[in-house]
Amino acid sequence: MPAAYYIPEFITEQEEEQLLKQVYAVPKPKWVTLSNRRLQNWGKRGMLVEPLPDWLTWPLKRIEERGLSIFPATTPANHCLVNEYAAGQGIMPHEDGPMYLPCVATLSLGSHAVLDFTPRETTTNTGCFSLFLAPRSLFVQRDQLYELYLHGIAETTADDLSNERRASPLLLPPPEPYDSRQGRVERGMRVSLTYRRVARSINKPKLLLR
Ligand SMILES: O=C(O)CCC(=O)C(=O)O
Ligand SMILES: [Fe+2]
């Protein structure tokens, strides 16, 4: 299985606008404010089994309709974290960990992100790389990419797209209208929908469950 998929323009501008409207229509207490982003937590949480709301599930249906078997049929996504980043905000390098099956599908809304990957087991910069996630794209990270790398988003108001100046290379050339010759691309407000499958148990070793 490949460890990553990237699908530009997975949703239309109208769909993006609609999703953003839904994200901002939720009651205020649904937002959790962290120091460098805000988030909403949907779906299964601990013992609480809550189905994902319809407005969040249609992108998952589209994944299926396109024949992209990203989540195994027996373990469909049952959790979605909605992250909101203002320009200048980001997320420290981290792993999502064993609470989830090793697969994340991310829809980017509103603005782009540059996702930086760092191998877990090294103290040098070798093996680091970055991916440009355009608004409306779907990015899937799974298996070895999920397990062997940390991922993060730098806290910056603009991203350098020129590989000559970047600390870690952008693996795919940024798409139109982002032109690498312009050098830097300003960030706007970005909302990401990150779909995952919560593993069966976060406390008990698997053997005890059999
Ligand atoms: O916003 C993103 O694309 C990344 C979010 C993330 O890494 C997370 O929620 O664990
Ligand atoms: Fe993450």
Q: Using an 8 Å Cβ cutoff, are 43 and 51 in contact? A: yes
How many of the other CB atoms lie within 10 Å of CB of 108?
Answer: 25
Give residue 172's pLDDT. 82
What the block records as the tokens of 148 is 């062997």
How many of the other CB atoms lie within 10 Å of CB of 59?
Answer: 19
**Residue 89 in contact with ligand 1 by CB distance below 6 A:** no
User: Could you report the average pLDDT of every consecutive run of 10 residues in the chain (210 residues)?
Assistant: 85 98 97 95 87 96 90 92 98 93 96 95 78 96 89 96 89 78 88 93 52
How many of the other CB atoms lie within 10 Å of CB of 32?
Answer: 11
**91-94 and 129-133 beta bridge pairing:** unpaired
Give residue 206's pLDDT. 52
**Residue 60 in contact with ligand 1 by CB distance below 6 A:** no
Does residue 209 form part of some domain? no
Does residue 22 form part of some domain? yes
Does residue 207 form part of some domain? no
Does residue 203 form part of some domain? no
Q: How many domains does the chain have?
A: 1
C-alpha distances in Å from residue 198, one per residue of 53, 81, 127, 138, 150: 16, 11, 29, 20, 19
What distance in angstroms lies between residue 162's CA and the mean position of ligand 1's atoms? Answer: 23
What the block records as the tokens of 104 is 């994340």
How many of the other CB atoms lie within 10 Å of CB of 209?
Answer: 8
**Residue 151 in contact with ligand 1 by CB distance below 6 A:** yes
Q: Give the total residue count for the chain.
A: 210
What distance in angstroms lies between residue 204's CA and the mean position of ligand 1's atoms? Answer: 26
Cα separation, 191 vs 205, in Å, equals 34
What distance in angstroms lies between residue 151's CA and the mean position of ligand 2's atoms? Answer: 6
Cα separation, 64 vs 71, in Å, equals 9
Does residue 178 form part of some domain? no
Q: What ipTM was predicted for this assembly?
A: 0.98
* Nearest ligand 1 atom to alpha carbon 152: 7
Give residue 115's pLDDT. 97
What the block records as the tokens of 181 is 């010759």
Q: What is the CATH number of the domain that holds 111?
A: 2.60.120.590
State which of 79, 106, 132 you would mutate to test the pocket of ligand 1, scoring each by most atoms of that ligand within 8 A of its C-beta.
Answer: 106
Does residue 126 form part of some domain? yes
Give residue 210's pLDDT. 43
Does residue 204 form part of some domain? no
**Residue 81 in contact with ligand 1 by CB distance below 6 A:** yes
85 is in which domain, residue-wise?
4-172+183-198
**Residue 78 in contact with ligand 1 by CB distance below 6 A:** no
Does residue 158 form part of some domain? yes
Give residue 201's pLDDT. 57
**Residue 113 in contact with ligand 1 by CB distance below 6 A:** yes
**Residue 194 in contact with ligand 1 by CB distance below 6 A:** yes
**Residue 96 in contact with ligand 1 by CB distance below 6 A:** yes
